[in-house]
Structure 1
Amino acid sequence: MTTPRLEIRNISRIFEGRRVVDDVSLSVLPGQVTCLLGPSGCGKSTTLRIIAGVDMQDAGEIHIDGRLVCDTLYRVPPERRSVGLMFQDFALFPHLTVAQNVAFGLSGSKLAKRTRVEELLHRVDLVRHIDDYPHQLSGGEQQRVALARALAPRPKIMLMDEPFSGLDNRLRDEIRDETLGVLKDEGAAVLLVTHEPDEAMRMADEIALMRAGRIVQQGAPYNVYNAPVDRDAAAFFSDINVIRGKVQNFLTDTPFGRFLTPAMPDGSEVDIIIRPQHVKIDLDRNGRGPHPTPEDGVPARAVVERARFMGAESLVEFRMDHDGSVLKATVPAVFLPRSGTPMWLMIRRDRCFVFPASGQERRG
């Protein structure tokens, strides 16, 4: 079994009586990219600072390659942890050239340092700027210099705190993909902090979803997206539709037919969650809709509230006949029915999630 390159065990950090980081554990293998994903203020950056050694935990341990580097009594200094850092602010030295920035912190002969600098600048396609200064570079180029500088000492672990947030969307995707390729080639264990689900899905081998100081779900992007642990986890990755119902005899009645809800107590309310891309749409045929099916349940009638073209897809909002609630559906390409158009909606049973209603806790 491969020893984790980075392992943190039961880390907690308390500020002014509040647990900013609360019993967090995770591990990252060599060459693996793990994204610590969550909303602003959930403790992601504090966790990163503790791993880097610039902040101290109140409980827990940090191990690198199976060796203890920090607990509440013992502490290896940050500069001896073989950890690279990248932040939103590239923090390049304005008075140093690109080559000098990348070489900063390197030891060894002048030739060895120059060789390493040129190797990395070739990898990030910036060797032509080797003698330029940071102010002569674009934002994307500065980001790549910062990456090269962080990788120059060959760190075992790369910690990245929202490093792409300062770039425009189109450039961000390009730089992220380039960065991921370089990091994979170097074999570093990468822990990336972000509040953007798309970034985590694009870059991560594993996602650790964080909320209020705790990791609430961890796994491969596919699993975290398709098997959320609760309503909030589902909503963090995309828009959701919520259909509320009450459980009776392990069944919940909805406008889309009955749902089997065997894990919920009788009389409890549940939220049935469906993402907009899994709502199916059919035409109204003189007040009639399609026939019910086991896969899609019973169709429910709705009226188009509004429709918007979003580029790769169209977003249509419907006002449901049965209670006036609004459901959203996304459709590939151009689909822009007029407001007031009656249609029939169905929801794929295999794409629904059932959770205790918001505000209720699961019992039993």
Structure 2
Amino acid sequence: MTATPPRLEIRHLKRRFGDRDVVNDVSLMIQPGHVTCLLGPSGCGKSTTLRMIAGVEMQDSGEIYVDGKLICDTVFRVPPERRHIGLMFQDFALFPHMTVADNVAFGLKDTREAKRARVEELLDKVGLIWAVDEYPHVLSGGEQQRIALARALAPRPRIMLMDEPFSGLDNRLRDDIRDETLSVLKEEDTAVLLVTHEPEEAMRMADEIALMRDGKIVQQGAPYNIYNAPVDKAAVGFFSDINVIRGKSKGALTETPFGQFLTPGLQDGEDVDIVIRPQHLKLDFDRGGKGPNPTATDGVAARGVVERARFMGYESLVEFRMDYDGSTLKATVPNVFLPAEGTPLWLTIRRDRCFVFPATE
């Protein structure tokens, strides 16, 4: 039995501007009804990748397939309007002189009755059937975003490309619109490629994340795996604040304020970065002033002196100057915890939540 091809597949896409490889050997596959997120900092090649898939930018090399059929390489090219690909951007780009119904129906080539039926079906899905004969200026930003989604879905695209589509909305509204959008896209069984620089958005929406850096996909997988098994220090830091404990490997061990860490595979004398997120640095109130006492889970405690403490709304962020080497570490504590500057406290770390990498600057 022949396996069903992915809805979208790109193979070894490259795009060069001047002497810079903006997109360098990018490959990925997306199945119908699945959301893949291209996540990375500004300028890493995410939007250029999207434009090549849409057909508004030509790749220097590589191939693009839809449902197993080649739509573009460096010789053959299906025009953008025949690729069955929908587009959504930060700018909703609704036509102000057209009604909502006419905006949604803009790309349809059916009869008037069929257009109206499709428009009403989609407006009902996005909860805006009441606005069918209104004009865009009477709608809020969130409502206009939902109209833009309905317009993009109206021609029944096989693939939806979304470039930072929610960044123009305020935070509280953004969460609701993202969830509603995801629900509609899943119902339509559309393959989605979403571009964002926001890790929270990627974690919330994606079935799979492709983490991009300097034109390349450096790691790809389910959000849980990307977060909990990062490929390097930069990948850890892209999703959250980090603490970095620097040491030197000796005999596959590295000495730290929190005791020795196993660092196999590194040469003696090689610098090591032990990376831990602030939420996994724990305050050991039971220890008081008794000093270090190793435990199986958290290892050795180390003493630090509070430099600053801030309440962040649902947790407190406390910064410590460590006695061991004068380095600064940050810990997050649930609720309100605001110790005075200069307060000494003992800290432990979740060893099972630490990541060990060869040191980088």
TM class by shorter chain equals over 0.9
Residue 290 of structure 1, CA deviation: 5.7
Number of aligned residues = 359
- Paired residue type of 2:73: D
Residue 156 of structure 1, CA deviation: 0.2
Q: Partners in 2 of 1:158 and 1:195 — Cα distance?
A: 18
- Paired residue type of 2:252: F
Residue 280 of structure 1, CA deviation: 0.9
Contact 2:287 / 2:346 at 8 angstroms: preserved in 1?
A: no
- Paired residue type of 1:37: L
Q: 3-state DSSP class of the match of 1:350?
A: helix
What are the residue-to-residue correspondences of 1:1-364 with 2, within 5 Å?
1-283=3-285, 287-289=289-291, 291-359=293-361
- Paired residue type of 2:279: Q
Q: Give the alignment's Cα RMSD to 1 decimal.
A: 1.0
Contact 1:282 / 1:289 at 8 angstroms: preserved in 2?
A: no
Q: Partners in 2 of 1:194 and 1:292 — Cα distance?
A: 43
**CA 1:181–1:80 in structure 2 vs 1: closer, same or farther (change >3 Å)?**
same
**CA 1:353–1:285 in structure 2 vs 1: closer, same or farther (change >3 Å)?**
closer
Q: Partners in 1 of 2:205 and 2:330 — Cα distance?
A: 28
Q: Partners in 2 of 1:286 and 1:205 — Cα distance?
A: 45
Q: 3-state DSSP class of the match of 2:42?
A: coil
Q: Percent identity?
A: 75
Unmatched runs of 5 consecutive residues or more in structure 1: 360-364
- Paired residue type of 1:58: D
Unmatched runs of 5 consecutive residues or more in structure 2: none
Once the two structures are superposed, what CA deviation does each residue of 1:82-103 show, in whole Å capped at 9, x if it has no partner?
0000001011111100000000
Partner of 1:362: none
Q: Runs (4+) of structure 1 moved beyond 4 Å?
A: none
Contact 1:282 / 1:290 at 8 angstroms: preserved in 2?
A: no
Contact 1:283 / 1:289 at 8 angstroms: preserved in 2?
A: no
TM-score, normalising length: structure 1? 0.97
Contact 1:250 / 1:262 at 8 angstroms: preserved in 2?
A: yes
TM-score, normalising length: structure 2? 0.98
Contact 1:277 / 1:331 at 8 angstroms: preserved in 2?
A: yes
Identify the range of structure 1 (187-196 vs 127-136) with the bigger mean alpha-carbon deviation: 127-136
- Paired residue type of 1:95: H
Residue 286 of structure 1, CA deviation: 5.9
Contact 1:39 / 1:211 at 8 angstroms: preserved in 2?
A: yes
Q: Partners in 2 of 1:208 and 1:53 — Cα distance?
A: 21
